[in-house]
Amino acid sequence: MIGSVRHRPDAMHDGKNHDTVAELVKQASEQLTDVVRSEMRLAQAEMKEKGKRAGFGGGMFGGAAIMGLLALWSLVFAAIAGVALVLPVWAAALIIGGGLLLVAGVLALAGKKQFGSATPPKPERTIDSVKADVEAIKEGAHR
């Protein structure tokens, strides 16, 4: 529509409603503002949802850790008692403790790898949507 106003000097005087360049710029600015606000609301909602899930998951892991510790203590005492039938108690406790430290190290490395794949927490759907909006704006500007 901008092209038709430029090439037809009589367009402003033919009695029809034509948008001026200033009005078109104003409309584009308002639309861009609306798009940015919508994307920000989407990002906020997505991060809120992810935060709730992470919090609930963290609580579940905490409960599992407590129960696991209680079970582990029972198994550790049983293992020490079993090995103490063959070796002195101090040697049995040392062997079982060393094995537990080895398992703890493996679990720590696996946990670090999992956290590395989950970070940084970012609103991926919103980022994709914003990229699509930018592409649409670029295509519209080239027409």
Q: Which DSSP string do the residues of 26-84 spell out, in sequence order? A: HHHHHHHHHHHHHHHHHHHHHHHHHHHHHHHHHHHHHHHHHHHHHHHHHHHHHHHHHHT
Q: Mean pLDDT, consecutive 10-residue segments, the chain of 143 residues?
A: 48 60 87 89 88 89 94 93 96 94 94 80 81 83 70
How far is Cα 84 from Cα 81, in angstroms, rounded to an integer? 5
- What's residue 16's pLDDT? 57
How far is Cα 110 from Cα 104, in angstroms, rounded to an integer? 10
The domain spans of the chain are: 2-141
Cα 140 to chain centroid, rounded: 30
Three-state secondary-structure class, residue 123: coil
- What's residue 139's pLDDT? 80
- Token pair listed for 122: 């970012």
